[in-house]
Structure 1
Amino acid sequence: MQPDPRLVLAQAASLHRSGQVDAAIEGFRQAARLQPSWPDPHRMLAMALLQSGRAKEAVQSARTVSTLMPNDPHAHLLLGVGLMTAGQADKAISAFERAIRIAPRLGEAQFQAGNALAATGRFKEAVARYDKALEIDPLGVEALVNRAVALARLKRRDEALGDLDKLIGLQPWAAMHHVNKAALLLEGGEAGIADAIAAVQKAIEIAPKDPDAWSLLGQARLAAGDIDGARAAHEQAVAAAPERADLRVPLVQVLRYQEVFAEARGHADAAIKLAPRFVGALYERAEVLRALDQPAEALADIDALLALEPRHARALVARAIILQDMNRAEEGRAALDKAARLAPEEADVRLQLGQDDLARGRWEKGWIGYEARGSILPPTYAPLPFTRWDGKETPERLVVLVEQGYGDAIQFARLIPLLADRGVTVRFLTRAPLVPLFRTLDPRIEVSADLDDLDLGAPGLRWVPLGSLPRLLARDPATWPAAPYLTADPERIGQWRHVREEGDFLVGITWQGSTRRVLDIGRSAPLAKFAPLAQIDGVRLVTIQRGAGSEQLDQVEFRGKVLKLDEDFDADGAFLDTAALLQNLDLVVTTDTSMAHLAGALAVPTLVALRAVPDWRWGRAGAQSIFYPSLELVRQRTPGDWDDVFARIADLVRARIAARGTKLEGGAA
């Protein structure tokens, strides 16, 4: 005798209520087989299958229900949910729309239709469905949450923030709403940072151990320039959820910024152990390894990342930079070109491509790409609070804003007089220590470290970052004002004549540039590598190194052959004594530091020791600098090999000494 399908269904439902889902599924199947035209077993089977994660099977049962009950909106709603769960959002939309046609006031159908539309990227239509759902149920929390997300995707931030404020009013105890508000405020850029921090701190008051809140606070503090605070917040996030690899990655980034590389490496390793295929962790560890001067290991991580995600544009940029470290510039360019095809608007892509174009002498394209430096993190300058100059109008007064390092300032400052040539009243806003030096640039140029005496609301006032002048004024460096374009104080020049003794060939030396590891990778050379110069008869070395790196002088064997300057050297202004001293030298030998730019700006003969693939401004090949004719460039033939570089520099110094002797003999004759 055949079992009663109603009894079988009742028993299966009891099993389902008791948590025996697998047994219940078999019971629902049996009931459906016993009475195929009865919708209830198919409906209950679909729901149990969804609960057990078997979405594709659930869709089959839900489809049967919708066929048996074509006028029941809940049948089509169930089918839509099954399709959504099975990853078929586009098909789910049709099912939800059928439910809505039958029952327009079915709020769940409107809500789920919005979810399906959002899942397919149709955010405007999704918002319309959420609007309907909220018209039916104004207190629908899930609809408000999802509408806020869709509005944010549509860049309708004010409306999205309005929904989040409603949610906070409905559920002030829910930390998630404050976190979401903070995230949206942070997306709004600099203007929203303070409010974002306040919102996420409220979330932390509600849920002190919420790892996502702490992580977002770290991001907000980093955006505000508070790196120490960002580190503390990210450490709290990791402590709250040490098993989450995603929380360690932003901590690694902050530790890199602080140049705490051992800890950064530890957290990166831990993240990859937790999630071996996590591309964010692989990217950050590669950056740490590069900073630790381990390019081969860094490249391995980037290549592992690209195997998982071949279209990762930032990873391609990182690969290009690492390949340059390894003297494989052409392979690096190929990676940059691919990144540009994938993400042409990405700031890091545009900047690195622009700098590579500049290194290759492609000035038109290069300066355009160089503009992306204002959009990277951290940007190279902070915008001033009035209108930026576009190069077209003639402003009543133009503020040229210094940016980046001292070397960049010296390199581009020569273009400022071109503005004065056009009749523009110019204020060069620079760092206070550089003000005296740059006052020698051109008497028509105002040089200041502040804007206290200017009316920032004046209608004719404009500003421009210094590094944008090449694009706006003179893209080909061959047309730039010639060196020397800075001058040393004649009185100071006389004060430093005492360093020279008759017969000396006086060589000023600098070996250490920026102390930031990420900026200095491969650029500075240990002072010990200068030893071949100290061994040349007639050469007397003078250290013009200041600050970091100076301690190496007491550690080298040729310490007694190097003249060390007084501690008050340059005390009243950056490079003032240095510029005067350089006029008393026969030669400068320096690594890639601001000293190379100063010597070039003063037209002082200089040999520059460069890494195999140096910074863009030194080009990709050749011994001459298009920016500074008095400089001769000596490049590594093998990455990291300074011995060969300084052996060749020593030969060049001997040749200059011999040439000077020949010249003196000829003059005497």
Structure 2
Amino acid sequence: MNPPDDIDPKIRFYTVRANAEPENPEAFIGLGNALHDAGSYEQAVRCFKKALALDPGKASAYTGLGNALLEIKNNDDAVIAYKNALSICPDMVEAHTNLGLALSAKNENQKAIESFDRALKLAPSNTRIHINLGNTYMYMDLLDKAVECYKNAVSIDPYNLEACNNLATALKEQKLPNEALTWHDRSIEVSPGYPEAHFNRALTLLLLGDFKEGWKEHEWRWSKKDYLIHRRDFSRPQWDGSDVHGKTILLHAEQGYGDTIQFIRYAPLVARMGAKVIVECQPALAQLLKNTEGVSSVLQKGERIPDFDMHCPILSLPFAFKTDLSTIPVNIPYVKAPEETISRWGKIIGAGKNRLKVGISWAGNPDHRNDRNRSCGFGAISRLMEMQGMDFYSLQVLNKGGGIHPKLIDRTEEINNFEDTAGLINNLDLVVTVDTAIAHLAGAMNKEVWLMLPYVPDWRWLLAREDSPWYPSMRIFRQAKPKDWGTVVERVGHSLSSIKK
């Protein structure tokens, strides 16, 4: 049977060849590679298996099979395929390299490093292997080794886009943001339209407090593949800060709860410019944000959106307002729970007790790309439970991670949304938290909040300072070295002991 006329030329060629030579394994290997290149991975798997049925001694068929299995995330079988290839051809660089990728995908990072090292002994000038090895060290938070690998890659190919970009990211994670900027700039020099380089440069600039350039670069996020899920293809234009008097504007959430809470502060400013403001946000925030000054209506994501004249993603509002460090809106509190909610939670927790009431949160969203660094876990923060003269209330609704202690008061089963959380926080004296939405909520309510941060924080917390320009009621406790939550909690405990009621 002849292939269709509109098929990829390579697939057409090898399909004809395989039909003509059904006993030739090379024909099926060629077809498998062509299908792989076209993204037809399941079909490619079948072709490589056919080739191996014809000749089990074909190392290239095992490698091709492994490559296709890796694409469909069948990492276990991919490892087996690569090992079979190497049993036939021990010096096959591609098999060693991709075995490393499959092992890394299985989180068997030490074995992955061994595979990449074997590949580099065979091909020491292969930039791709140096980058893969660096990526694995990054996953393991071995930043010095990651930087070394990326520098090896750029010494071989000074304008390798991925190596330059990854080196910049690793240097930023080492808390060397100015050095990182050099490599962000090199990445953009190599490929001026590369969204990841612009976006990563934005995060570094914002971390350094360079908001003018940082917000502009931050708009490149909309060109990144992993942001397509957040992109809204509205027919109306995005607001750029121009005159909005008499217009209806839709402000829509795009990322996490904390982002929405942080930047909803701009809604009253837009309203004061004469606009009718509609907010679309996550369902768990909708009830709370209905009380925001200047907001005409609040919609949950998925509800029908009424007519509007223009829109603005909520994280683009600082760019529209040309916000710098000296012009951050701090009309706080800008988030408030209704009095009846505050009263109800006061009764639940016994608001009249003459003891210091401290709310704690120790973990963020486990799906967050940096959660392994920003969450301390209950084990670290539980040391505070031993302090006398105070009560500790859990604010950890999800991802509790073993958060059980005789002295931890947990009424979170009665929390249905962020309005409830705000009602609970309003009845506390202090909130101690890692970098989660709880920190933003407490700060937006003007509740005293102590924020515990990893060695390299998210951009919004800047560097070195113990306060936040976003939240006047916030005090920051930073790690002095990576992963050292123990010292941070110890400092928090010492500070707590000085403010006991």
Q: Distance in 2 between matches of 1:339 and 1:605?
A: 41
Q: Which residue of 1 aligns with 2:332?
A: 483
Question: Equivalent of 2:411, from 565, 584, 588?
Answer: 565
Change (3 A) 1:342 1:214: closer
Question: 2:401 aligns to what SS in structure 1?
Answer: helix
Matched, 1:538 2:389: yes
Q: Which residue of 1 aligns with 2:24?
A: none
Q: Which residue of 1 aligns with 2:265?
A: 414
Contact 1:238 / 1:247 at 8 angstroms: preserved in 2? no
1:286 offset after TM fit, Å? 2.8
Question: Equivalent of 1:444, from 278, 295, 312?
Answer: 295
Give the AA of the match of 2:278: R
1:615 offset after TM fit, Å? 0.8
Change (3 A) 1:502 1:400: closer
Q: Distance in 2 between matches of 1:638 and 1:337?
A: 27
1:313 offset after TM fit, Å? 3.6
Contact 2:103 / 2:112 at 8 angstroms: preserved in 1? no
1:476 offset after TM fit, Å? 2.4
Q: Which residue of 2 aligns with 1:509?
A: 360
1:271 offset after TM fit, Å? 6.2
Correspondence 1:183-582 to 2 at 5 A = 210-214=32-36, 216-217=38-39, 233=72, 235=74, 242=82, 260-262=105-107, 270=115, 273-274=118-119, 276=123, 277-379=125-227, 381-391=230-240, 392=242, 394=244, 396-442=247-293, 444-450=295-301, 453-454=304-305, 461-476=309-324, 478-479=326-327, 480-497=329-346, 498-500=348-350, 502-516=353-367, 518-548=369-399, 550-554=400-404, 559-567=405-413, 569-571=414-416, 573=417, 575-582=418-425
Contact 2:79 / 2:103 at 8 angstroms: preserved in 1? no
1:218 offset after TM fit, Å? 7.2
Deviations 1:408-435 (A, max 9, x none): 1111111122222222233222222221
Change (3 A) 1:652 1:311: same
Change (3 A) 1:472 1:379: same
1:255 offset after TM fit, Å? 9.4
Give the AA of the match of 1:563: I
1:463 offset after TM fit, Å? 2.6
Contact 1:360 / 1:620 at 8 angstroms: preserved in 2? yes
Give the AA of the match of 2:107: A
1:270 offset after TM fit, Å? 4.4
Structure 1 unaligned segments of length 5 or more: list them: 1-166, 180-205, 221-228, 662-669
1:318 offset after TM fit, Å? 2.2
1:644 offset after TM fit, Å? 1.6
1:396 offset after TM fit, Å? 4.0
RMSD: 3.7
Question: Equivalent of 1:601, from 425, 441, 444?
Answer: 444
Q: Distance in 2 between matches of 1:420 and 1:623?
A: 32
1:496 offset after TM fit, Å? 1.9
1:367 offset after TM fit, Å? 0.5
Give the AA of the match of 2:286: V
1:439 offset after TM fit, Å? 1.3
Give the AA of the match of 1:388: P
Deviations 1:607-627 (A, max 9, x none): 111112211100112111000
1:219 offset after TM fit, Å? 9.6
Deviations 1:216-265 (A, max 9, x none): 42799xxxxxxxx9966365996998568779989988998xxx551577
Q: Which residue of 2 aligns with 1:583?
A: 426
Q: Distance in 2 between matches of 1:601 and 1:631?
A: 10
1:363 offset after TM fit, Å? 1.5
Contact 1:354 / 1:367 at 8 angstroms: preserved in 2? yes
Q: Distance in 2 between matches of 1:245 and 1:393?
A: 60
Contact 2:101 / 2:112 at 8 angstroms: preserved in 1? no
Q: Distance in 2 between matches of 1:441 and 1:280?
A: 51
Question: 1:552 aligns to what SS in structure 2?
Answer: coil
Q: Distance in 2 between matches of 1:363 and 1:607?
A: 24
1:560 offset after TM fit, Å? 1.4
1:527 offset after TM fit, Å? 1.9
Matched, 1:645 2:488: yes
TM-score computed with the length of structure 1 as normaliser: 0.59
Question: 1:560 aligns to what SS in structure 2?
Answer: coil
1:637 offset after TM fit, Å? 1.3
Give the AA of the match of 1:210: G
Q: Distance in 2 between matches of 1:531 and 1:612?
A: 20
1:516 offset after TM fit, Å? 2.7
Change (3 A) 1:169 1:496: closer
Change (3 A) 1:540 1:611: same
Deviations 1:622-663 (A, max 9, x none): 111000111001111122212221121112212223xxx5xx
Q: Distance in 1 between matches of 2:225 and 2:392?
A: 40
Question: 2:499 aligns to what SS in structure 1?
Answer: helix
Greater fraction of residues in helix: 1
Give the AA of the match of 1:607: W
Change (3 A) 1:416 1:171: closer
Which deviates more, 285-294 or 599-608? Answer: 285-294
Change (3 A) 1:294 1:453: same
Give the AA of the match of 1:350: H
Contact 2:96 / 2:119 at 8 angstroms: preserved in 1? no
Deviations 1:106-134 (A, max 9, x none): xxxxxxxxxxxxxxxxxxxxxxxxxxxxx
Q: Which residue of 1 aligns with 2:58?
A: none
1:491 offset after TM fit, Å? 1.4
Give the AA of the match of 1:382: R
Change (3 A) 1:253 1:173: closer
1:373 offset after TM fit, Å? 1.4
Question: 2:498 aligns to what SS in structure 1?
Answer: helix
Give the AA of the match of 2:206: L
1:170 offset after TM fit, Å? 5.4
Structure 2 unaligned segments of length 5 or more: list them: 15-27, 43-67, 86-91
- Paired residues in the alignment total 444
Deviations 1:449-491 (A, max 9, x none): 2465446xx7x64332211111112412543152211111211
Contact 2:265 / 2:334 at 8 angstroms: preserved in 1? yes
Which deviates more, 297-306 or 634-643? Answer: 297-306
Q: Distance in 1 between matches of 2:255 and 2:248?
A: 23
Give the AA of the match of 1:560: P
Change (3 A) 1:449 1:576: same
Change (3 A) 1:646 1:271: closer
Change (3 A) 1:583 1:248: farther
1:172 offset after TM fit, Å? 5.5
Q: Distance in 2 between matches of 1:524 and 1:297?
A: 24
Q: Distance in 2 between matches of 1:207 and 1:245?
A: 18
What percentage of residue pairs aligned between the two structures are identical? Answer: 23
Change (3 A) 1:252 1:343: farther
If you compute each CA radius of gyration, which structure gives the higher value, 1 or 2?
A: 1
Question: 2:446 aligns to what SS in structure 1?
Answer: coil
Change (3 A) 1:499 1:239: closer
Deviations 1:586-612 (A, max 9, x none): 111111111111111111101111112
Larger RCO (CA within 8 A; separation ≥ 6) = 2
Q: Which residue of 1 aligns with 2:474?
A: 631
Q: Distance in 1 between matches of 2:198 and 2:363?
A: 29
